[in-house]
Structure 1
Amino acid sequence: MPTEIGVIEGFFGRPWTWAERTETLRFLGGRGYGFWLYAPKADPYLRRRWREPYPEAELAELRAFAACCRDADVRFGVGLTPFELHFGFDQMAKAALSAKLAALDDAGVQDLAILFDDMKGDVPDLAARQAEIVHWVGPRTKASRLIMCPSYYSDDPVLDRVFGARPAGYLDDLGRTLDAAVHVMWTGEEVCSREQSVGHLERVGQALRRRPFLWDNYPVNDGPRMSQHLHLRAFTGRPAAIAGHIAAHAVNPASQPVLSRIPMLTLVEAYARGEGYQYLAAFRRAASEVLGEALAARVEADLLSLEDAGLARLGERQATLAARYAAFDHPAAREIVDWLEGGYAITGEALQTQ
């Protein structure tokens, strides 16, 4: 097993309710998940409006969730995205950041992630600028673990197309400049990596001068394309052998909180069984535990439609499936019906505004 498996709640689109979040925490906390990083893209006070203070009602929800984490013996963390702070880290920005850190301390953070993803990064001294911010934060937070996500958190060239060409030597500069105690997130060879290999993680670890803190973008299904599909199948391409090459394994869940639990359970089994892991058997065990036998069998029979075909290709089957799952009195079945009716669809505009 790796040091820890946990949740990075870092997807775009419709956020989970606090009740859904808490129920999922309690479910996963007793099944091998040891930390929770709260970082939904829909929380504006952690992202585009990060300089504004949290409304007291929202801060109270964070405090209550932190207490639930403590009760479940799960580390509570927050991911803060200070939009384009590396372009102007002046006194006003420092004052706003200091106030936000104090609010998060008040909420009870144990882990603090400073996230530089989803923003422009094509400046030559990007690594130095971001390291300066992270080092400034270090002594000003009560969090006992400090994590950062680079602007270029994968080898995937899509990041260069969207956010500008990454500076030459960015990863090496970041590894050399950052304090060794700071963890660095990485999603793999792609933003949504099909596999995580020992060879790749070793190479990234050498550049960063530390084992990467793996941000795994499965079963996340946000964005205009992925929101058309439910990600239900068991984890594959994450061999237990990677455990010694990562600092932790954080899973970004799907928009559907109950359905997410199916693949998320299988990751724990993949590490526990090692070379004996069988993904279909793992899916069946997890689906039965989450859904019950009857609904699990129904979902397995419909995987080609729900996961592979996606909404755009269902045609007349969409109404048939909706009626089929409406007959089940189960929250996961209601999530499937909601998805079939477009309740989880995400537009390109959401990616630009959240």
Structure 2
Amino acid sequence: MPPEFLAGVVEGFYGRPWSHQLRLEYAGILRQLGLNSYLYAPKGDPFLRKQWQRDWPPGEWRQLRELAAHFAAAGVRFGVGLSPFLLYAGYGAMERRQLQGKIERLNQLQAPLLAVLFDDMPGAQPDLAGRQAEIVADIRAWTAASRVLVCPTYYSFDAVLERHFGRRPRTYWADLGRLLPADVDLLWTGNEVCSPAVSAADLEQAQDALGRPVVLWDNYPVNDGAVRSRHLYLDPLAQRSCSGSAALRGHFCNPMIQGLCSLPALLGLAQLYTGADGLADRVPASVLGAETWGQLQRDCGLFRDLGLDMSEPRRQALEMLYSGLPGAAAAEVVRWLRGEDGFDPACLTD
């Protein structure tokens, strides 16, 4: 994996965000997997999205600083995903000052990555690309981050985005690729919001549309949608034949609400880019616990295919079984089996 290639996790899902302790643990998990990057961008953090103009309360800001320092000490690139909600609809002098203040605050984290996320917002305005490029150019001038990534409002060829967020301006992708600073990366989810497969040809098609290589925001194993929240996805990431493509500059997986249970899926990402042998046997058992890992392997197909639509007696039996297993991963399964990780209706793109 070239040193400039980004590979890791984007905590970018809706619903209950991960705990601070779990995020800290992920620095070590990613290092064990040979992955090099983590983007903090939970939709549940209001100070990144609809209340982006406000500062974090002191306790939450201390945790963010601790998180950035912890990842730096582990040798894993850390970044924040800022979603200035609908800023492009009215970017005047006051909004520009507010944005500069937010970027200067984020600079205190000394994080090498900064993502500017325009996803899941209304986009049907003719000058969308130009306004977003203007915002990103200002951010690029103000940020201390060494790498800036942008998620377009239309981040896939999937027609579902236009159904939810309005008709895409006809030349949006070409204009955005042309107007953004040359060193800014564009995030892309593949041919669909949750793409079952991604090939080198798919990435080349995206590069043709955007006028530059992309960083893949892979919506596997994420399970925040109305349907997907009823399932756990424990299979390693598969059907990605894009390693080594010149059209790809990075690959992030958007994990499940169940952070430790996302580890098996991330094994596929690690094996795709690091070629590391023995990860599937060594890392899950050490992180999840050997007993829990063995049980998850036995239940993988059930949780993937039937999920919470399994029979009630079977669900109750599994809840009792996992309640008796040690460790936080088993507790994640119990919470999911009890329906405590339900669908967040703000998530519109299952």
TM (normalized to structure 2)?
Answer: 0.94
Retained in 2: the 8 A contact 1:34–1:74?
yes
Work out the CA distance in 1 between the residues paired with 2:180 and 2:280: 39
After TM superposition, list the pairs within 5 Å mapping 1:305-320 onto structure 2: 305-320=302-317
Q: Is the 8 A contact 2:6 2:251 kept in 1?
A: yes
CA contact under 8 A between 2:34 and 2:274: conserved in structure 1?
Answer: no
Summarize the alignment of residues 266-285 of structure 1 with structure 2, pairs less than 5 Å apart. Answer: 266-273=268-275
For residues 165-209 of structure 1, the C-alpha deviation after alignment (integer angstroms, 9 at most, x for no partner) is 111121111111112111100000000111111111012112322
One of 186, 197, 200 as aligned partner of 1:198: 200
Q: Distance in 1 between matches of 2:312 and 2:22?
A: 30
Amino acid at match of 1:174: L
Identity, % of aligned positions: 42
Structure-1 residue corresponding to 2:321: 324
Q: How does 1:250-265 map to 2 (within 5 A)?
A: 250-265=252-267
Matched, 1:337 2:339: no
Q: What is the alpha-carbon distance in structure 1 between the residues aligned to residue 294 and residue 241 of structure 2?
A: 27
Evaluate the alpha carbon distance shift between residue 207 and residue 260 of structure 1 in structure 2; reply closer, same or farther with a 3 A threshold. Answer: same
Which one-letter code corresponds to 1:351 in the other structure? C
From 49, 58, 61, give the equivalent of 1:59: 61
Report the CA distance between 1:242 and its aligned residue. 4.8
2:341 matches 1:351:
no
Tell me, yes or no, if the aligned pair for 1:37 and 1:77 is still in contact at 8 Å.
Answer: yes
Higher helix share: 1
Aligned residues: 346
2:171 — aligned with what? 169
Question: Aligned equivalents of 1:152 and 1:261: distance in 2?
Answer: 28
CA distance in 2, matches of 1:13, 1:204: 29
Name 2:182's counterpart in structure 1: 180
Contact 1:284 1:296 in 2 (8 A): no
What secondary structure is seen at the aligned counterpart in 2 of 1:250? strand
Contact persistence 1:234–1:283 (CA under 8 A): no
| Gapped regions of structure 2 (runs ≥ 5) | none
Shift of 1:123: 1.1
Q: Report the Cα offset of residue 108 of structure 1.
A: 2.0
Are the counterparts in 2 of residues 31 and 265 from structure 1 also a CA contact under 8 Å? Answer: yes
Match of 1:26 in 2: 28
Q: Which amino acid aligns with 1:47?
A: R
- Offset at 1:240? 5.1
Structure 2: how far apart are the matches of 1:109 and 1:282? 28
1:340 to partner: Cα distance: 0.3
Name the aligned partner's letter for residue 347 of structure 1.
Answer: D
Q: Within 1, Cα distance between the matches of 2:242 and 2:172?
A: 29
Whether contact under 8 Å (2:292, 2:326) holds in the other structure is no
The answer to whether 1:89 aligns with 2:91 is yes
Q: Is the alpha carbon distance of 1:240 and 1:162 closer, same or farther for their aligned partners in structure 2, counting shifts above 3 Å?
A: closer
Kept in 1, the 8 Å contact 2:200–2:242? The answer is: no
Q: Aligned-pair RMSD on alpha carbons?
A: 1.9
Give CA deviations for 1:45-76 in whole Å, capped at 9, x if unaligned: 00000111222222111111011011110111
Name structure 1 gaps, 5 residues minimum: none
Q: Is the 8 A contact 2:39 2:81 kept in 1?
A: yes
| Residue 159 of structure 2, aligned match among 157, 162, 172 | 157
2:108 equivalent in structure 1: 106
Matched residue SS, 2:79: strand
Q: What secondary structure sits across from 1:302 in the alignment?
A: helix
1:133 partnered with 2:135:
yes
Does structure 1 conserve the Cα–Cα contact (< 8 Å) formed by 2:255 and 2:262? yes
TM-score, normalised with respect to structure 1: 0.93
Deviation at 1:262, TM superposition (A): 1.5
